[in-house]
Structure 1
């Protein structure tokens, strides 16, 4: 039930944009010149005879069916199709420009927020049976961390994004008639979020847009258009992915808090990750579609990534291991990914899966490869190495700066250490492949010399070359940390680390720090590695945070490696097992 109450006092004369920005308006009509000068879109003047506000009881907020009835009469598939096409040209293209040029240009309104609002507004079955939860707020009451005093926190370094969106995002929502959907979305907002803040029309857009911008800013490069296209289509079509993305945004807010105040909130979010894993990744149907399996695998990987961030690598690895059946289901459905071994057994083709059409398969392989490598664990998958995948086009550089060619080498060393029965290349062949590999980025003394971002990327990838060489020498040949070949690569990694300095690319040096730390002989090098790993935490992380690895190396240095003594890769694995059993 709505009622109108007149506001006292004279009517406002400023334009809507200046009023929201709390700036003095020059009152030029039809558009305020101050807005245009400051780069904002003028929303015009309020000419209504009766200014009023609408009072609604919380119990009268529209349900899903009511919100749907107020939507513009546009077919749902048309809205989603138009949204999916707009996302790439909107948010991701702008973020790509911000990442590459770091200009002060204002961010365009996020179509992503509107798309996700549309996707999440409907009722969703949290399990695969026929029960449908039509009031998701009750489910969230049971699941979401109960921190009623916790209000929405916008990180300082993205405050300018919020300021730009105050005008542009509101305009976008109004023009698309999505206010009704936002009110319907109220039913899905967790109780930990202040109700007044949640009902603001820009709330959801701010949370998701800020998260996407921040997340992409930590990527090695902006994603290629074909990958971003695929991911955004999945995002707009999957309610599970929308919910997990919202959780990821809240996790990033938590990680921006002071460590002394975030502990209780982190514990609550960890519990919610576990509950969502059970609800979103299990199925009661005997024959789910491949698209559904792929969606659940993507959700599983996102939850594993959150566990990596919130807890530690070994905790996230347990979620990754639980995702293995879904990986096998998808891989088995594509005969191009299977290769028969001489003994008749089927294995997953390493070069083929690294360029598989489904991004979730490639993402799983990357997570599995670096987990087995840095945690010293046996591979979850038996790969067949029937050729090479030399196309960086399908690689992982845009996420973590990891070259596909070198990931294949690391996968083979993982298989060597696990005693795999498939045919593997000898260490000389692997070494030659690493030394002859050429990075697609310019060398440090080449064309990127005047480009700090390009120089950082080139240094990260050159460092991966020496990471792979050390792993070959210590993991396959059994060399100790005192081997001259190992020490040459260690020295080179430290040189590259100094070249990168404190630039944004330094978070992609975590694997380099771990491997160089294993083989470091000098105390100054060990201290540098320890301090660097301790700094890679919160939102400033690679795939893994660095804290747990610093503890493992500390154990190694004060045990077998005391006083700069020689260590082997097995010594490192033993220290990891002692400090962080998986």
Structure 2
């Protein structure tokens, strides 16, 4: 059924508009998301999958722009699957849709429809950040930040009593019913780490009690929520932002951390449970290495750093490969950080091979292939012949390959 519905026009035209408004469009979207769920390593348990699909249908019915966003998402995913990506076409669609949304918002920015359209607009920015390459992602995030803040400040449920309005409560964002907010924050924190730039937003990273039911991005992107909070906090600590804990407290939390058992049903085999434990351990080791290198000013050859590199690659090597070569865990941050710190040629080769694989990285939020030249520059420059490097050496290599121009 998905293939039948995929035969739709390649540009926003009258036939496409008719299709968007037809009853068949919901079937098309559900078929699309059902197909995409098959590419996820950690399968959602049955009631969670049903709730996710119900949320998709509900969102489809909120606004006309949501249908365009869903169509665009489906076309991009189809392009990733078939290897027929058309970034210029998708960028043109996004530009046209952004213009249409701005026109509506200009007429009445306080209407209930405007609040919904702002969420759709942020989702467009999130999609745009995925299809652009290199440092263009930072420019997209900067453009999206005002919309993110408008939505966040208009949702009273995100703000506990006595909260500081200068800091966005990241835990509540991550567990809110607005997935576009969580998507933005996830990409923002990741980009701040790998590009070595400040986060676009000041986050409140205090934890409180973690939710029993994992957020959808946790199992779909293999990003446990507690490590997203710690990543944001380490970024802020690196940049000496206000209201951050001393690095020793963060280190103590990572060193003494205990894994959370996975919530699963009969569809999970034992190797999937083991893989989820490996995901958590790989995050712990990666963030420790990042903390030592970027915050403490450690050299990559220090034993505490090399122990993290050796152990994280060992942990990643224990994860069972899925029967389908297109189904894998997005370990971008883990391999990238290991590559920055690697001084052994064997470790560098593992990282290079993984990040260079188009088949393994095509569904990752940030394309691993984009960062291979950065690591090559580091390895053949400051880190040549296995010499140890500092965080500033990595930033230099990133700036050479991906300069960021702030307009």
TM range (shorter): 0.7 to 0.9
Cα distance, 1:233 vs structure 2: 1.0
Give the structure 2 partner of residue 252 of structure 1.
77
Question: Please, which of 237, 255, 259 is the counterpart of residue 62 of structure 2?
Answer: 237
Cα distance, 1:351 vs structure 2: 3.5
Question: Please, which of 5, 9, 17 is the counterpart of residue 188 of structure 1?
Answer: 17
Question: Please, which of 404, 407, 422 is the counterpart of residue 225 of structure 2?
Answer: 404
Cα distance, 1:561 vs structure 2: 0.9
User: Which string of whole-angstrom CA distances, capped at 9 and with x for unpartnered residues, describes residues 17-51 of structure 1?
Assistant: xxxxxxxxxxxxxxxxxxxxxxxxxxxxxxxxxxx
**8 Å contact 2:355–2:369 — kept in the other structure?**
yes
Give the structure 2 partner of residue 546 of structure 1.
368
Separation in structure 1 between the aligned mates of residue 254 and residue 396 of structure 2, nearest angstrom: 27
**Alpha-carbon RMSD:** 3.6
Give the structure 2 partner of residue 271 of structure 1.
92
**8 Å contact 2:343–2:386 — kept in the other structure?**
yes
Q: Which moved more, 1:245-254 or 1:514-523?
A: 245-254
CA gap of 1:424–1:294, structure 2 versus 1, over 3 A, is farther
**8 Å contact 2:309–2:341 — kept in the other structure?**
yes
Separation in structure 2 between the aligned mates of residue 328 and residue 302 of structure 1, nearest angstrom: 15
User: Which string of whole-angstrom CA distances, capped at 9 and with x for unpartnered residues, describes residues 193-240 of structure 1?
Assistant: xxxxx9xx9985785345312322334442835555434311232221
Give the structure 2 partner of residue 140 of structure 1.
12
Give the structure 1 partner of residue 185 of structure 2.
365
**8 Å contact 1:350–1:383 — kept in the other structure?**
yes
Give the structure 2 partner of residue 581 of structure 1.
403
**8 Å contact 1:518–1:553 — kept in the other structure?**
yes
Cα distance, 1:488 vs structure 2: 1.0
Give the count of matched residue pairs: 386
User: Which string of whole-angstrom CA distances, capped at 9 and with x for unpartnered residues, describes residues 398-439 of structure 1?
Assistant: 221111111111111111222212x21111211222233333
Matched, 1:454 2:326: no
Give the structure 2 partner of residue 418 of structure 1.
239
Separation in structure 2 between the aligned mates of residue 404 and residue 482 of structure 1, nearest angstrom: 30
What is the DSSP-based 3-state SS (H/G/I as helix, E as strand, rest coil) of the residue aligned with 1:481? coil
Give the structure 1 partner of residue 118 of structure 2.
296
Separation in structure 2 between the aligned mates of residue 448 and residue 284 of structure 1, nearest angstrom: 48
Separation in structure 2 between the aligned mates of residue 487 and residue 307 of structure 1, nearest angstrom: 32
CA gap of 1:450–1:187, structure 2 versus 1, over 3 A, is closer
Larger radius of gyration: 1
Give the structure 2 partner of residue 566 of structure 1.
388
Matched, 1:315 2:136: yes
Separation in structure 2 between the aligned mates of residue 519 and residue 448 of structure 1, nearest angstrom: 37
Give the structure 2 partner of residue 436 of structure 1.
256
User: Which string of whole-angstrom CA distances, capped at 9 and with x for unpartnered residues, describes residues 306-356 of structure 1?
Assistant: 542x332533343232221122112223456458999x9732233343333
Calculate the TM-score normalised by the size of structure 2.
0.82
CA gap of 1:206–1:266, structure 2 versus 1, over 3 A, is farther
Separation in structure 1 between the aligned mates of residue 339 and residue 32 of structure 2, nearest angstrom: 32
User: Which string of whole-angstrom CA distances, capped at 9 and with x for unpartnered residues, describes residues 58-90 of structure 1?
Assistant: xxxxxxxxxxxxxxxxxxxxxxxxxxxxxxxxx
Separation in structure 1 between the aligned mates of residue 391 and residue 123 of structure 2, nearest angstrom: 28
Q: Which moved more, 1:564-573 or 1:405-414?
A: 564-573
Calculate the TM-score normalised by the size of structure 1.
0.59
**8 Å contact 1:351–1:389 — kept in the other structure?**
no
Separation in structure 1 between the aligned mates of residue 219 and residue 96 of structure 2, nearest angstrom: 30
Separation in structure 2 between the aligned mates of residue 544 and residue 469 of structure 1, nearest angstrom: 21
Question: Please, which of 501, 509, 533 is the counterpart of residue 355 of structure 2?
Answer: 533
Matched, 1:330 2:202: no
Separation in structure 2 between the aligned mates of residue 204 and residue 334 of structure 1, nearest angstrom: 30
Separation in structure 2 between the aligned mates of residue 279 and residue 497 of structure 1, nearest angstrom: 45
CA gap of 1:489–1:448, structure 2 versus 1, over 3 A, is farther
What is the DSSP-based 3-state SS (H/G/I as helix, E as strand, rest coil) of the residue aligned with 1:393? coil
Gap regions ≥5 residues in structure 2: none
Separation in structure 1 between the aligned mates of residue 364 and residue 204 of structure 2, nearest angstrom: 28
Matched, 1:378 2:235: no
Gap regions ≥5 residues in structure 1: 1-108, 114-136, 142-184, 191-197
Cα distance, 1:249 vs structure 2: 1.6
Cα distance, 1:478 vs structure 2: 1.2
Separation in structure 1 between the aligned mates of residue 282 and residue 148 of structure 2, nearest angstrom: 30
